[in-house]
Structures are given as structure tokens and as C-alpha cells.
Amino acid sequence: MPLDKKDAATPPQQRSFARSMTVALVVLLMVGCGSQDSEPKTSLFEDDHVVAEHWPADLSDVAAKLRERLASPEVNEQAQKEIEDLVSWTAEIAADTNLSEADWLPLYHHSESLMANLEKAKQGLSSDDRSQIQSFCKLIDDTVLVIPDQLARQKGTSP
């Protein structure tokens, strides 16, 4: 097949340059599209959202974290926000356990009621708020004891 006048007029240097640029562009695209992390992902959702540092490990950790934040006489704005977060997350965390609905519902209702009170308390926690949070922690502690997984562990470790 005869060369087109245009192809015949293109010097080999220009074709070589065009090929080099194409190869360079492809290499850059391939390198740029790879993961920048040296560590492998442990979750499919790592890039989707940020997990708060005060996110509890489990249901009993909710009560522990709430008590930690109540330990100081004055709860600052940051601690109050974290208390609100922990209370609002409680039903979700409890739902991820093997609790029956009958055992889960009191936590849900108490957390909803407590959240309504905390949202009104923008001037800091009153002694009534603190008392309600302590009561909520006690409810969490009692509920943790009836989680089927926890019962199995307790029976397995008792003499």
C-alpha cells in the first residue's frame, strides 16, 4: 500500500518523538492510578469515611468512654460533643451484638431520651444530665451481661 503524502512527509524523528510521548503518557497514567499507600487495606470502607478516634470497640467500651468523659468536674465542649456521639452511637453498636430485640429496646429508648436532653444542654452538663448518663452507663453494663456471647464466656470461665 503506498504511503500517503502526509506520512511520507513526516520525518522519522517526529514519529519517534510521538511514540515516545505516547509511551511516557501511558506509563504516567499507570503509575498515577496505583495505590499510594505502602500498607494493604484492611477494610473495603477505609477510603469511604473517617472513623472517630473515640469510636468504641464494643458496647462495654461505650460505658467506659462515657465514664472517662464524666470524670472531670468540668466537661469541656469537646468532651460534651464526644458524650453526645457516644450516646447517639449506642443503639447502633448494641444492634451489632447478639442482643435480642427485647434487650436492645431499652438501650435504644434510653439513648433517644438522653440525646434529646443533651441537645438542650448546650451550656454544659447539669448534675441531672450527669446522673442520667451514669444511669445509662449502668444500663449498658447490665445489658452487656445478657449478650449471648458474653454469657457463654462467663459460663466457660466460672469454676
Q: What is the pLDDT of residues 49-68, one digit of tens each?
A: 677 888 999 999 999 999 99
pLDDT at 45: 54
3-state secondary structure of 143: helix
Cα three-residue angle 54-69-126, rounded to 5 degrees: 130
pLDDT band, very low/low/confident/very high, at 159 (cuts 50, 70, 90): very low
- More confident position, 46 or 86: 86
- Phi, psi at residue 116, to the nearest 5°? -60, -40
Those residues whose C-beta lies under 8 Å from the C-beta of residue 94, and which sit 6 or more positions away, are 59, 104, 107, 108, 143
Q: How open is the CA angle 152-156-108, to the nearest 5 degrees?
A: 25
Q: Is the pLDDT of residue 110 over 80?
A: yes
Domain map of the chain by residue range? Answer: 59-157
Mean pLDDT of the chain: 81
